[in-house]
Amino acid sequence: MLSLKKGRYRARFAETAEDIGAAQALRTLAFRGDREAELDADMFDDICDHVLVEDQRSGDLVCCFRILPLTGGQEIARSYSAQYYELSALEAFPGKMVEMGRFCIDPSVKDPDILRVAWGAMTTYVDEQGVEMLFGCSSFHGTDADQYLDAFAMLKERHLAPKRWLPRVKAPKVFNFAQKLRRKPDAKLAMLRMPPLLRTYLLMGGWVSDHAVVDSHMNTLHVFTGLEINAIPPARKRLLRATTG
């Protein structure tokens, strides 16, 4: 059973229907900007484990995400990401995989320790379960690619998936940034516009698809993101595991 406490925050698995409801409510606020909007819930909630990060002082839920464990690439079609990306190349991946999805932080709370605790919890899970790849959809807010051109140019220049794992186009509407962009990225601007979750993946050696899916329902642009655990730099692994201590 996952349980991690660090400073002001603790991470744990959801245990009740009320826990999952609280996660769905936070997702609704984070993704739709209004707790009264249509509840962010789907069929994957029933087959995933949900991780909650709470403020130990107030008990408030400040961050959540869900994880879908897979025994290997042969199960990749079960994933949420497989709705939007053609992932047959990853069917050959031999090790345990985990899809990390619906990651969000309460927009009213600004504390970098929340992201650290969330990644510490994920690190604990990966170590305990022998996971060899993390993957998911990393989202940019809104569907206007023009405001993220430097970020996409940097992804093209430095962070495209290895050819052996590269996802192909499946969604009806995509932004093919690897084909369309010819600009040299402004590194500072690119990192400022990069979503925090994706930035963390990249710092650990993660890679992305060569296109972004335009998801009008969620009002996002998202890229498939993969992280092979054995490729994480040793210094970065030590930092992650320091959070779990």
What pLDDT is attached to residue 35? 79
Give the per-residue pLDDT at 2: 74
For 224, the 3-state DSSP assignment is: strand
What per-residue confidence (pLDDT) applies to 178? 97
**Which residues, 6+ apart, have CB-to-CB distance to 233 below 8 Å?**
204, 205
Start-to-end CA span in the chain (Å) = 16
Q: What angle do CA 128, 10, 137 make, to 5 degrees?
A: 65
- Gap between the Cα atoms of 178 and 32, Å rounded: 29
Q: Is 7 left (phi over 0), alpha (psi -120 to 50) or beta?
A: left
pTM (2 decimals)?
0.93
> How high is the pLDDT of residue 234?
83
pLDDT (0 to 100) of residue 245? 54
Place of tokens 């192909």: 168
- Phi first, then psi: give them for residue 223, nearest 5 degrees: -115, 140
Per-residue model confidence (pLDDT) at position 241: 67
Query: Whose structure tokens read 């060899």?
Result: 132
Return per-residue pLDDT of the chain as tens, 245 residues.
677 788 899 999 999 999 999 999 999 999 988 878 899 999 999 999 999 999 999 999 999 999 999 999 999 999 999 999 999 999 999 999 999 999 999 999 999 899 989 999 999 999 999 999 999 999 999 999 999 999 999 999 999 999 999 999 999 999 999 999 999 999 999 999 999 899 999 999 999 999 999 999 889 999 999 999 998 888 877 766 666 55
Is CATH 3.40.630.30 the right assignment for the domain spanning 3-243? yes
Q: Which residue has the tokens 């690190």?
A: 123
